[in-house]
Amino acid sequence: EPEVTQTPSHQVTQMGQEVILRCVPISNHLYFYWYRQILGQKVEFLVSFYNNEISEKSEIFDDQFSVERPDGSNFTLKIRSTKLEDSAMYFCASSQGTGANVLTFGAGSRLTVL
């Protein structure tokens, strides 16, 4: 069964450093997403990406964040100047964008900012 793969599974970084989280969406999906889940809290939408540009973003997705699809397969989330409160699980997801728009999630990348 096709799956969304994410790397790294866990990243530890110092406050102020830049982090890049990587995702390989399902190959025939057109929409890509990043969600965040702080420990014990809900899954929060960050950004969606379609046709090589951001299609929607939440209030959380400020100038500290950026996304990119550098080649035909990878989808990345860059977090600049990380803060303690950026510590969370970051989930990548992809979908075909039709009907109920069912998202397929990756296993997540755990970011720990010290």
Question: DSSP string of 27-51?
Answer: TT--EEEEEEE-TTS-EEEEEEEET
Is the separation of the CB atoms in 29 and 94 below 8 Å?
yes
Phi and psi for 109 in degrees, rounded to 5? Answer: -120, 120
Q: Which of residues 2-41 bind another protein (CB under 8 A)?
A: 4, 31, 33, 35, 41
Q: Choose, by CB under 8 A, the member of 56, 78, 83, 112 that binds another protein.
A: 56
Query: With CB under 8 A as the contact rule, which of the stretches 14-22, 43-51, 60-68, 74-82 interacts with another protein?
Result: 43-51
Residue ranges that bind another protein, judged by CB under 8 A: 4, 31, 33, 35, 41-45, 48, 56, 89, 91, 93, 95, 97, 100-108, 110
